[in-house]
Chain A
Amino acid sequence: MMNKIENPYRPIRAEITEVISETPTIKTIRVEPKEPIIFETGQFIELTIPGIGEAPFTPSSRPAIKDIMEITVMSVGRVTEKVHELKKGDIVGVRGPFGKGYPIDKFKGKEILVVGGGCGFAPLRSLMYEFFDRSGEFKKLFFRGGCKTPQELLYRGEIADWAKRKDLDIKLTVDKGDSEWKENVGVVTTILDGVEMDYESGIAIVCGPPIMMKFSIKKLLDMGFKEENIYLSMEKNMSCGIGKCGHCRLGIYYVCKDGPVFSYDKIKDFSNIWD
């Protein structure tokens, strides 16, 4: 009695084609799935380490590239520790994509401010490449990124290239600088002032640790951004990816199917959204 519905719990076999060390605790793995996995920027996938388990990640790579996916992973738990042990040629599994990504079409003709913190650079990298690929569609693009120390700055080489782009205004900050750091020192909210755009009509996209998102939103609201124009990527315990297992409920939503990207107005009234 077979059924035509696909098995949503089955991972697709994927081969590791490269492992890039980004920082002492963060690596980017490049995977080649045996069946194409086409994602929209901001959607997430479940990465399986065979026999160990799976964990959710938003791909950090360009959505326009269909056959290869890059996933940037910080070693924090049981699965991610194993991800860090992966070598070229190893086999992993990928399920997805799941949920709703950034509603890029809604951003057309608008000024966009992207605010990233630490690990939050990973999904934002994918988003930035989507913006670059569709550069003419948006009025103006700002990137404001922060992390703890210069050593923890992700994608340093690429970001140096971004800084040369004419369609992007970029500023970076670190909580604690060193002798070589030439840019701002301070938390990310300290470089939001002076972004030359119309806040009332502008789009703000925030991704980073909860505490960073919390304070960035406060700042953005003070600046005049509208709640419905502030987009967040929420991190909850997404497991099944299809709104059934119950682990990632946030108010009336499941982050896995209704998110992970939400506009702030949709979730602001739920309690403890940052916990």
Chain B
Amino acid sequence: MQYISSSNFAKFLENLKEDYEIYVPVKKDDQYFYKKYLDFTDDVVIGEIRAFEPLKSFFFRAREIVAENFKSDIPHTSQKPYCIVGVKACDLKGLKIHDYVFKNHNFQDPFYINRRKDNLIISADCTTAIDTCFCLALNVKPYPLENFDINLSAVGKDFIVEVGSPKGKRLVEKYSSLFGEVKDKFLSQRNEQREKVTKVVEKNIKENKIPPQDSFKGIIEREYESDIWADEADKCVECGACNTICPTCHCFLLYDQKSKNQMARLRIWDSCMIKDFAQVAGGANPRPELWMRLRNRFEKKFDFFPKVADIYACTGCGRCISACPAKIDIRKVLKRLVHDE
């Protein structure tokens, strides 16, 4: 592990600009948003909590052209690879799920792969938690342990640097003059901080009685015909916000448009909460009722993914809780499913 001062980190980013398009979290009101990095301005916040938008936005675009006419090339923009700074552990888990879907599966998605390839993930510890954070229930710690190139733990204004990939190692070595030895007192400061944040999330979990991941096995099958679904879906307005804001949701809609040449095929994020999501042209719909679609959303995350990829497709980031206008709370649904109440 190494150490970097914030002024040296700014220099580090300045150097990275040549090869990367850098995005950093900035604080605006009470939220954090990724913004293209120009300078290490005062609003740049590396620690604290996850950004408002899920990390997937960078690699699995909300809307993009995937085919034009019958041309065999892959439409793309000739931009530099992304360097995303300040990514939190929950979003790294989301990335793992998207990698499974788009990259490591039998079929590969060239658009995702092109954006993921050569990118640089500089993650960071959470230095605080908000009341919707429940990552620990999904076995995600509030500080990254894997899937990063470089991780930063904020200590005061400066950072402890941990390398997580050969690419990260090469970069730290390349700019070695910016990095220094970590003093023991900073290491213990980091550990204290990690413990402090862990306790906050534990308190959230305790207060909301959120069951741990170990108790999720079989809950969807067991509660498949339960009234919980209709009860929870009662106020759903079918807006799809839970899907769009979710770092693991990957479903998309392909649709064609007339373009000046002939045709353009676009893909946009889709939502399984929308009525016609699974409907076929003849009109048959496996999930005509809203509660069935809510159940499907949970089935996908807590039954399908653990069965096919041995992972629960929830990161405990709590974004869907904040996004839902009907106040459908994933923590409460899980609690009800686990306790059959």
Contacts and interface: CB of A to CB of B under 8 A. Distances in A.
Interface of A: 1-3, 5-13, 34, 48-55, 74, 76-80, 93, 210, 235-237, 239-240, 242-249, 251-252, 257, 271-272, 275
Nearest to B281: A77
Given A11-B265, A78-B281, A93-B70, 9 more contacts: A2-B74, A2-B76, A5-B74, A51-B259, A93-B263, A243-B106, A246-B251, A252-B307, A257-B107
Given A2-B74, A77-B281, A235-B280, A9 B107 contact: no
Interface in B257-286: 257-259, 262-263, 265, 267, 270, 272, 277-286
Query: Which of A5, A9, A74: most chain B CB closer than 10 A?
Result: A9
Interface of B: 66-67, 69-74, 76, 78, 81, 101-102, 105-110, 113-114, 117-118, 224, 250-259, 262-263, 265, 267, 270, 272, 277-288, 300, 304, 307-308
B108 A5 contact: yes
Nearest to B303: A252
A44 to B, nearest CB: 13
B15 to A, nearest CB: 21
B286 A3 contact: no
Contacts of A53: 255-256
Given A1-B114, A7-B110, A93-B70, A245 B254 contact: yes
Contact of B281 (A51, A76, A271): A76
A242 B107 contact: yes
Given A9-B67, A48-B263, A50-B262, A240 B252 contact: yes
B282 A51 contact: no
A12 B107 contact: no
Nearest to A271: B224
Given A11-B70, A79-B281, A247 B117 contact: no
Contacts of B272: 246
Contacts of A240: 252, 254
Given A1-B78, A236-B278, A257-B107, A244 B101 contact: yes
A61 to B, nearest CB: 21
Contacts of B114: 1, 3
Contact of A244 (B105, B284, B304): B105
A239 B278 CA distance: 10
B262 A51 contact: yes
Contacts of B253: 239, 245
A244 B250 contact: yes
Contacts of B277: 237, 247
A13 B70 contact: yes
B279 A1 contact: no
Contacts of A249: 278, 300, 304
A8 B102 CA distance: 12
B50 to A, nearest CB: 24
22 contacts: A3-B74, A3-B113, A3-B117, A5-B113, A8-B107, A8-B110, A10-B72, A12-B70, A48-B256, A50-B69, A51-B257, A74-B282, A76-B283, A78-B281, A210-B284, A237-B277, A245-B251, A247-B277, A249-B278, A249-B304, A257-B107, A275-B288
B10 to A, nearest CB: 27
Given A1-B114, A51-B256, A237 B262 contact: no
